[in-house]
Amino acid sequence: MVHHRAQADIVEGQPVNGKAQSTAYKAEPSAQNSEQGGAALTIKGVGVDYSTAEGTFTAVERVDLDIAAGEFVSIIGPSGCGKSTLLHSIGGLIPPTRGEVEFRGEVIGEPHPDRAAFVFQDYSLLPWKTTLDNVALGLQFKGVSKGERRARARDLLRTVRLEAFANSYPAELSGGMQQRAAVVRALAMDPDILLLDEPFGALDEHSRRQLGVEMAELLTTTGKILILITHSLDEAVFWGDRVVVMGASPGHVKEVMEISAPRPRAVDFMLTDEFVDARRHLLELSRHDLDGEPEPAE
């Protein structure tokens, strides 16, 4: 069943210089994960301003979100609404201008690959290293011995059916294969949080759907917190325990939608009423973004 939490139910708007109102949220961890012990990751009033030649630019106004251990959260929203900025703040790459991000009660102040690992759209594999060495790379920084890191990297490559390409270089792999390698490279670090910034965005629609289904079990049974930025409504609903819908100018949370189907989900989930209803609702929400119309007054 799909639960919408309409903005009016949960938002305390604050006028900002007479412009758009901010959206402050207190979203609860999904029912599916709440038995795992409440929020592990707390995003408390996080806002990010950038300094530009024209002055201060507010990319993210204010976001509040509690995420439970093992929860999968998808983030969607129009281009430029601050999705990547927020993700970078969660991972410690960009310090928030306002508020803070806490993991298990500890403020995340700087990047820490044991805690949060990123997977970006452009694969970011090192072209001069083999697939195996790319996956093993992070373990080197953790001080794992050469033999052990190669063994662990080989095991991980097996989980994404890339063992036969262990000694190939990234340029010899397809886009989907490179992205599978990039995902297991991040998993090799055994982070508490996996941050996925449009990881399948460079792939054609067929490949990204196939990869999504293939990786569903691997990614969603890790017990890690997963946060996925995507422009694909299908992906957002297919993966997420919750879908966070962001709006722009400045970046804020418009709505949080809960998707209750258990994970890992098979491709048949896309044919269910829950999937179709959720997708339709998200499409309606983003219609104004797609039409290029201003958002309705909040």
Ligand X SMILES: Nc1ncnc2c1ncn2[C@@H]1O[C@H](COP(=O)(O)OP(=O)(O)OP(=O)(O)O)[C@@H](O)[C@H]1O
Q: Are 166 and 131 in contact (CB under 8 A)?
A: yes
Binding to ligand X by residue 59, rule CB under 6 A? yes
Least distance (Å) between residue 50 CB and ligand X:
3
Whose tokens are 């941050």? That residue is: 195
Nearer to ligand X, 17 or 79 (CB): 79
Give the binding range for ligand X (CB under 6 A) out of 51-59, 109-117, 138-146, 252-260.
51-59
Q: Look at residues 156, 210, 164 and name the one whose alpha carbon lies nearest to residue 183.
A: 156
Nearer to ligand X, 133 or 197 (CB): 197
User: Around Cβ 122, how many Cβ atoms within 10 Å?
Assistant: 14
Nearer to ligand X, 83 or 208 (CB): 83
Least distance (Å) between residue 172 CB and ligand X:
29
Q: What single-letter DSSP state applies at residue 241?
A: S
Least distance (Å) between residue 87 CB and ligand X:
8
Q: Look at residues 31, 26, 33 and name the one whose alpha carbon lies nearest to residue 12.
A: 26
CA gyration radius, the chain? 19
Residues 79 to 108: which contact ligand X by CB under 6 A?
Answer: 79-85
Residues 201 to 240: which contact ligand X by CB under 6 A?
Answer: none
Binding to ligand X by residue 56, rule CB under 6 A? no
Least distance (Å) between residue 44 CB and ligand X:
19
DSSP-assigned beta bridge partners for residue 117: 194
Residue 55: partners with Cβ closer than 8 Å, 6 or more residues away = none
Q: How far apart are CA 148 and CA 151, in angstroms?
A: 5
Least distance (Å) between residue 282 CB and ligand X:
15
Least distance (Å) between residue 45 CB and ligand X:
18
Residues 147 to 166: which contact ligand X by CB under 6 A?
Answer: none
Binding to ligand X by residue 17, rule CB under 6 A? no
Buried b (16+ CB within 10 A) or exposed e, 6-43: ebeebbeeeeeeeebbbbbbebbbbebbeeeeebbbbb
Nearer to ligand X, 82 or 138 (CB): 82
Residues 65 to 84: which contact ligand X by CB under 6 A?
Answer: 77, 79-84
Task: Enumerate binding residues for ligand X (CB under 6 A).
Answer: 50, 52, 57, 59, 77, 79-85
